[in-house]
Amino acid sequence: MCDACGICGERRDLQLAGAGDITQVEAQIRQVVTGVLREVEMYGVNGLKERRAQIPVGVSARHVHVCQEDLEKLFGPGYMLTKERDLLQPGEFASKELVTLVGPDGKTMSRVRILGPLRSRTQVELARTDGIALGIKNLPMRRSGELRGAAPITLIGPRGSVYLPEAAMRSNRHIHMGPRDAERFGVKQNDVVQLRLGGQEGVTFHNVQIRIHETWKLVAHLDTDDANAAGIVCDLQAELIK
């Protein structure tokens, strides 16, 4: 399980190697070596020590945030989320609760995890690939919480379902950081920067939003489409470019 975002492991099939599984061990070593080579490629051997604008990447798999009202419709009156594990940011957690998503033509996607704590409004964060699988044409990209124009979607839980006319979206690329990191990088709330990933499948992502909060730890959040395009997994370092 990945520790950076805490939710990607299920999607990207990362697993700790069993002691006897040499293929797994090899794959993990290859991943570490690839990461180092990417950085050497980008900065040179001598440049590695002087990197300043390095951001760890967390890959966000599809997930759901729910409000109390929708949680009760899905899981029953008075229901509360059960913590499965903590996420990187203080207070945030992956819950044990899973829902099924249903798209406009009845295509379904099961076992999508709810992340806590509860929010004021339910929001379904998908990659564009997930949207296509659900039959959602042109999944809109939105900043978290800005759901005007988001796609309609149905959530199904063990005790009921809920239809949401504006809830499904592709989350915009963003970097979480605290005030001290913001000062170090010379950026402020809602600045738009670029994020460069090296290697054979290297990509520079544009339109990456800076999000600052007192308690946040430094992490760039990309969805699984961006991660798979760039051929990366969690914990790789990306370069912030202003």
| Residue ranges that bind a copy of itself, judged by CB under 8 A | 11-13, 27, 30-31, 127-129, 132, 135, 137-138, 141, 170, 172, 198, 200-207, 224-226, 228-231
Residue holding tokens 């800005």?
146
Residue with smaller CB distance to a copy of itself, 100 or 204: 204
Spatial separation of the C-alpha atoms in residues 137 and 151, rounded to whole Å: 9
Cβ-proximal residues to 146 (8 Å cutoff; 6+ apart), any chain: none
CB of 102 to a copy of itself, least distance (A): 17
Q: Which two tokens stand for residue 213?
A: 């909060």
Please state the closest distance from residue 73 (CB atom) to a copy of itself, in A.
27
Residue 183: C-alpha distances to residues 187, 197, 223 (Å): 7, 22, 26
Residue 205 has phi, psi (to 5 degrees) of: -90, 130
- Cβ-based nearer residue to a copy of itself, 71 or 195: 195
Nearer of residues 119 and 196 to a copy of itself, judged by Cβ:
196
Distances (CA, A) of 44 to 15, 41, 72, 97: 31, 6, 54, 45
Kindly tell me which of 89 and 129 has the beta carbon lying closer to a copy of itself.
129
Least distance to a copy of itself, CB of residue 17, Å: 11
Q: Please, what is the minimum distance in Å from the beta carbon of residue 197 to a copy of itself?
A: 9
